[in-house]
Structure 1
Amino acid sequence: MVGTAAQSVQALASSLGALPPEFVRPEHEQPRATTFRGAAPPEIPVINMSSPGAWRRMAEAAAEWGIFQVVCHGVPAEAVAELQRVGRGFFALPQEEKQRYAMDPAEGKTEGYGSTLRKGDLEGKKAWADFLFHNVAPPAAVNHAVWPESPEGYREANEAYCGHMLRLTRELFGRLSAELGLQEGAMAEAFGGDDVVLLQKINFYPPCPQPELALGLAPHTDMSTLTVLLPDEVQGLQVFKDGCWYDVNYVPGALIIHIGDQIEIMSNGRYKAVLHRTTVSREKTRMSWPVFVEPPPEHAVGPHPQLVTDEFPAKYKAKKFKDYKYCKINKLPQ
C-alpha cells in the first residue's frame, strides 16, 4: 500500500521498486494487453487549419473519431514554450512548496495542486498522475490565489496562452457549427457565449516501475465542450475506436482537439465525445497541458432545436452543466 508520508505520485515514484497493488489496473485495462499492436493502425487525423477543406475534414474527424490534431493553428511557438517552461518549473519545486497550492474539496478548494493518491475509482484503483488546475477565463471565474507564484512568469504565461485559446475556441466553435448546417455563432451561444469557462490543467506523469500494468488516467470522455491538449514528446495518449486502443502519435507543433460530452449533446450525437486514456513510461516523465472549455455552471445544454427532427429525435436531455457534472462525477444516471 502507498505510505502515508507520500503526498504525490511524483514523491512516491522516487522511492519505489515495484508498483503498489492499488495502481495495478484490471487485466482488461492493462496497456500491455489492450493496446493495438498491428502493423498499420488507422491514423488520427492531422489537419492543417490553413488548407482548403480543413473545416470539412475536422467535422468528419469529430464525427468519426471525436479527436483530431491541428497544425498551423495560429498559437505562437513562443507562447507554447513559455507555458511549458513555467509548468515544468512548478513541478520541479520542492514538495512543500507545491503543497502551498493544494486543493482541498472539503474546505471548498476545488482548484489547485492535487494527486490521484487522494482517491481511487470504484474498484479502489488509482491512476499514476499528479496535476495542477485552475480557471483562466472569464475574469469573474479566476482566483489568482490558487495560481503559483513560482516559477517567475507563471501568471503572464498562462494569461497569454489563454488569449490564444479563446481565439482558437471561437474559431473551432464557428466552423464546427457551420458544418452542422447551423449559423457560425450557434455553438458558442449554446455553450454560454462570452461566459464560457476555460480551465487550464497540467498533468504530470512521473516514471513508473511497471508501466505495462498502470494508467496515468483511466478511460473517460471529457465533460467539456471541447478540450485543447498541448502534449509533450513522450508517448501516452490513447483513444478507443472499433474495440481497440490506439496511440495518438506526437506531431511537433500540433494541438490535439478532443470533442467533449457537451458538443456531443448539442450536436444530438453527430459529433462524438472521444473515449481516451493515458499510459505512462518506465524511464521518462510525461506532461500535458489540456485546456477544458466548459459552459458556465448554471447554463443548460441540450440538443440544438434545428438538429432535432422526426427522423433524428433528441438523444439527450437538456441539463445545467453543474448538474451534468455532478451526475457524471458521482456516476449517477444522467
Structure 2
Amino acid sequence: MVVLSQTALDHYSLIKTCKPTGLFSGIPVINLMDPDAKTLIVEACEEFGFFKLVNHGVPLEFMSRLETLAMNFFDLPQSEKDKVGPPDPFGYGNKRIGPNGDVGWIEYLLLNTNPQITSHKTLSIFQENPQIFSSAVEDYILAVKRMAYEVLELMADGLGIEPRNVLSKLVKDEKSDSCFRLNYYAPCPELQALSGRNLIGLGSTQTHR
C-alpha cells in the first residue's frame, strides 16, 4: 500500500518521466468479475508483466481505515517514529533503503502477513491502542490474500495448470515469507532544486541523470 502526501502530489508534475516509445494503450485493466478474467490475466502477464485489477472484492472501508491510521503514524514526530525502527526486518524505516547505504525519499512500515508472528515493533506503532492498528492491518491483509488466491487460481486456469491451487497454496502456506509494506512518499524539500538530478522514491540504487 502506498500513502502519498498531498504536497507530494502537488510536486509530482516536476518529476521527469520517461514516455514509452511506440504504441502504448495503457496498463491493462481487468475486471475480476469478467468471465474472461483468466484469459485476460494471462495475456496481461505475457505482454506487460502487470495489470490493474477492478471489482477485486477488497472493501474500500478496509483500505481507507488503514490509510488513515498509517497517515496518523507517519505524521508523528520523527523521534516517535524512530522508536519503531530500525526494521529487523519488520518495523519502521526511511531513506536508507539498501544494504550499501542506497538513498531514497521514502518512509515505510514493513509488517509480517502472518498474524501468528507479530513483531514487538509492530505492536509499538501506536502506544496508546496498538490493537486498532493491528486489527486494521489484519482485515486488509486477509482481504488482499483472498483476492490473491483467486487471481493465482485464475492464472493457473488460464495456463491450463493442474491442480488449480498449485500457485495459491504457496501463499496460503503458514510458513510463507510474504510481507506487507506501507510506503509513504513524504514531501521532498530537494525536489525543486534537483535541476536534472533524479531522486528515486524506492529502489536498491540511486539514479543520477
Question: TM-score, length-normalised on structure 1?
Answer: 0.49
Q: Are the structure 2 counterparts of residues 66 and 37 from structure 1 closer, same or farther at C-alpha, using a change threshold of 3 Å?
A: closer
The superposition leaves residues 159-184 of structure 1 with CA deviations (integer Å, 9 ceiling, x where unpaired) of 11111022112112211122221121
| Pair 1:129-2:106 in alignment | yes
For structure 2, list consecutive stretches of 5 or more residues without a partner in the other structure. 1-14
For residues 204 and 29 of structure 2, the distance between their equivalents in structure 1, rounded to whole angstroms, comes to 22
1:60 aligns with 43
The superposition leaves residues 10-47 of structure 1 with CA deviations (integer Å, 9 ceiling, x where unpaired) of xxxxxxxxxxxxxxxxxxxxx63x61077964311111
Q: Give the number of equivalent residue pairs.
A: 183
1:158 to 116, 129, 137: 137
The superposition leaves residues 164-218 of structure 1 with CA deviations (integer Å, 9 ceiling, x where unpaired) of 0221121122111222211211113456634334412111112223366211023
1:91 to 53, 68, 74: 74
Which structure shows the higher helix fraction? 2
For residues 183 and 128 of structure 2, the distance between their equivalents in structure 1, rounded to whole angstroms, comes to 17
Percent of matched pairs sharing the same residue: 27
The equivalences for 1:1-334 within 5 A come to 32=16, 35-36=18-19, 41-103=24-86, 109-117=88-96, 119=98, 125-137=102-114, 139=116, 141-147=117-123, 148-149=125-126, 152=129, 153-182=132-161, 183-190=163-170, 193-208=173-188, 209-210=190-191, 213-218=198-203
Q: Are the equivalent residues in 1 in contact too, given 2:44–2:51 (CA < 8 A)? A: yes
Which structure shows the higher strand fraction? 1
Structure with the larger RCO, 1 or 2 (CA within 8 Å, 6+ apart): 2
Q: Are the structure 2 counterparts of residues 47 and 53 from structure 1 closer, same or farther at C-alpha, using a change threshold of 3 Å?
A: same
For residues 76 and 49 of structure 2, the distance between their equivalents in structure 1, rounded to whole angstroms, comes to 36
Q: Are the structure 2 counterparts of residues 145 and 159 from structure 1 closer, same or farther at C-alpha, using a change threshold of 3 Å?
A: same
One-letter amino acid of the structure 2 residue matched with residue 79 of structure 1: F
For residues 170 and 102 of structure 2, the distance between their equivalents in structure 1, rounded to whole angstroms, comes to 36
Moved runs in structure 1, 4+ residues, more than 4 A?
A: 37-40, 118-121
Q: Are the structure 2 counterparts of residues 191 and 81 from structure 1 closer, same or farther at C-alpha, using a change threshold of 3 Å?
A: closer
Q: Secondary structure at the match of 2:104?
A: coil
Q: Are the equivalent residues in 2 in contact too, given 1:138–1:196 (CA < 8 A)? A: no
Q: Are the equivalent residues in 2 in contact too, given 1:120–1:127 (CA < 8 A)? A: no
Q: Secondary structure at the match of 1:103?
A: coil
Q: Are the equivalent residues in 2 in contact too, given 1:49–1:73 (CA < 8 A)? A: yes
The superposition leaves residues 67-120 of structure 1 with CA deviations (integer Å, 9 ceiling, x where unpaired) of 11111100111111001011111101111111111025xxxx221011123657
For structure 1, list consecutive stretches of 5 or more residues without a partner in the other structure. 1-30, 221-276, 278-334
Question: TM-score, length-normalised on structure 2?
Answer: 0.75
One-letter amino acid of the structure 1 residue matched with residue 145 of structure 2: L
Q: Are the equivalent residues in 1 in contact too, given 2:96–2:103 (CA < 8 A)? A: yes
One-letter amino acid of the structure 1 residue matched with residue 167 of structure 2: M
Computed over aligned residues only, the root mean square deviation of the Cα atoms, in angstroms, reads 2.9
Q: Secondary structure at the match of 1:67?
A: coil
For residues 99 and 176 of structure 2, the distance between their equivalents in structure 1, rounded to whole angstroms, comes to 30
For residues 117 and 219 of structure 1, the distance between their equivalents in structure 2, rounded to whole angstroms, comes to 9
